[in-house]
Amino acid sequence: MPSSRSSKLVGVALAAAIAASGAVATTALTVATAATAQAASSVGGQITRSEVLARAKSWVDQTVPYSQVSYHTDGSGTLYRQDCSGFVSMAWHINTSGTNSGFTTNSAVNYSTRLAGLDSLKPGDTLNNINTHMVLFVGWNDSGHTSATIYEEPTSDSTARSRVMTRSDMTSGGFLPYRYNNIVDDPSARVYSGDVPVSGKWGGSASTIGVFRDGVWALRNSNSAGSADVVAGFGKAGDVPITGDWDGLGHDQLGVYRPSTREFVLRHDDASSDSLVFGNAGDVPVPGMWDHNGHAQMAVYRPSTATFTVRHDDGTTTSASLGNPGDTPIVCDWDGVGHTQMGVFRAGTNPGDANTFALRHDDGTVTTATYGEKGDLPVVGDWSAKGRTTFGVYRPGTATFALSNAYTSTADYVFKFGNGGTWS
């Protein structure tokens, strides 16, 4: 498996919906996926919402400085002006490359259609005050549509950024909602039904696998074929399985994330449970040893902005970005440093395509590796008790786990377990 270490992660996006996780080794998988954001649009042609967001985020990641006279590449060599409207024209892949006045806040209305109201906004649309400023809409942050995440080139002496914009900011600032005439929705979602892979250190020093099926956990004590060593009921259909050392006992415990209520429900060894509400609708749970203090903290990943947000024990939060909008989060201790680190999984898009794992280290570099094939679900763990985590996949069509002890294309453990699943 080709592996590289680099300071920047670049790629296409995968729309993640729910996750299966494994303790210190927590992995997220896609149960409903939209087609990945292809860098397939032509200048001035149709473009998907996910590609618009990915293009915009590329400038945010590069912290491209604001300028009304300078130009920056969109990544393929096409140059766009580095001010607020130039930023939107780049994200929309408008055919005004290199021009000083071809696309402005005022002329943008010739390329777009005004929407009925703010509640009609979708990712990739814009908020435009034609006399002052325009921003790219990423998504609402709550069901009441009281605030949204936006991308923008703000003002001089600043750089491309992501920020929260309240509804009152939109209305008081004279911003109106517009939709690019050539933007299209992403293709219909593929939906997965079946066993969800999980992993954890149930009692030994190595991570072993299991599956979650509508509130029933079937767990193995070794990475091999055979009957479940433990069968336990916790959660219900529609829940997302999570595992972690909630109590600092040195082994993993069961839990679920309930998307309908944004609720983490954690099971303790005495069979009692408690819960915590955290995150927003659409977030993916990624609990882990974020604080290096012996027990897990709750965290979420927001696919629309590729942002991890950790809730610390004192109730404060910190956020960091990795990947592209829609990537599937995977988190674990990649380096054996005793705390959880971020990563993302990018599924292959066509038959025969390999999946990409991108693992972020404490120094900010990212190791990328390809493994598995389209349709696989990611799983991570310390399979050989080496003190650091590697990855694997679960192949639903054959109910097969393929686990690697190193960042190579070679699987060290290949075996069948569970009932598998299907994509439709």
Q: Per-block average pLDDT, block size 10, for the chain (424 residues)?
A: 33 30 38 44 92 94 95 92 96 81 90 97 97 96 92 94 97 98 86 94 94 97 97 95 96 96 96 95 94 96 90 95 86 95 89 88 94 93 95 97 88 97 91
Contacts of 210 (CB under 8 A, 6+ apart): 197, 198, 199, 200, 217, 218, 219, 220, 228, 230, 417
Which residue do the tokens 């080794």 mark?
25
Predicted local distance difference test score (pLDDT) of residue 13: 25
**Under CATH, which number does the domain 3-35+188-423 receive?**
2.120.10
Distances (CA, A) of 298 to 159, 340, 360: 31, 12, 19
pLDDT at 97: 67
Length of the chain as a residue count? 424
N-term to C-term CA, the chain: 29
Q: What angle do CA 219, 225, 227 make, to 5 degrees?
A: 50
Strand 161-166 vs strand 176-180: parallel, antiparallel, or unpaired? unpaired
Report the distance separating Cα 391 and Cα 402, nearest Å.
9
The Cα–Cα gap between 239 and 258 comes to: 5
Quick one: pLDDT at residue 39? Answer: 55
Query: Which pLDDT score is estimated for 32?
Result: 37
Is domain 47-184 classified as CATH 3.90.1720.10?
A: yes
Q: What is the pLDDT of residue 303?
A: 86
Please count the other Cβ atoms lying within 10 Å of the Cβ belonging to residue 68.
13
Q: What is the pTM of this model?
A: 0.75
- Taking a C-beta distance cutoff of 8 angstroms, is the pair 329, 342 a contact? yes
Structural Rg of the chain based on CA atoms: 22
Instruction: Give the model's pLDDT for residue 202.
Output: 93
pLDDT in tens, 248-307: 999 999 999 999 999 999 999 999 999 999 998 889 999 999 999 999 999 999 988 889
Q: What is the pLDDT of residue 36?
A: 38
Q: How high is the mean pLDDT of the chain?
A: 88
Q: What is the pLDDT of residue 100?
A: 65
Q: Tell me, what's the pLDDT at 410?
A: 84
Enumerate the CATH 2.120.10 domain ranges in the chain, comma separated: 3-35+188-423
171 φ, ψ to 5°?
-75, -45
Give residue 92's pLDDT: 96
**The predicted structure's pLDDT at residue 408:** 75
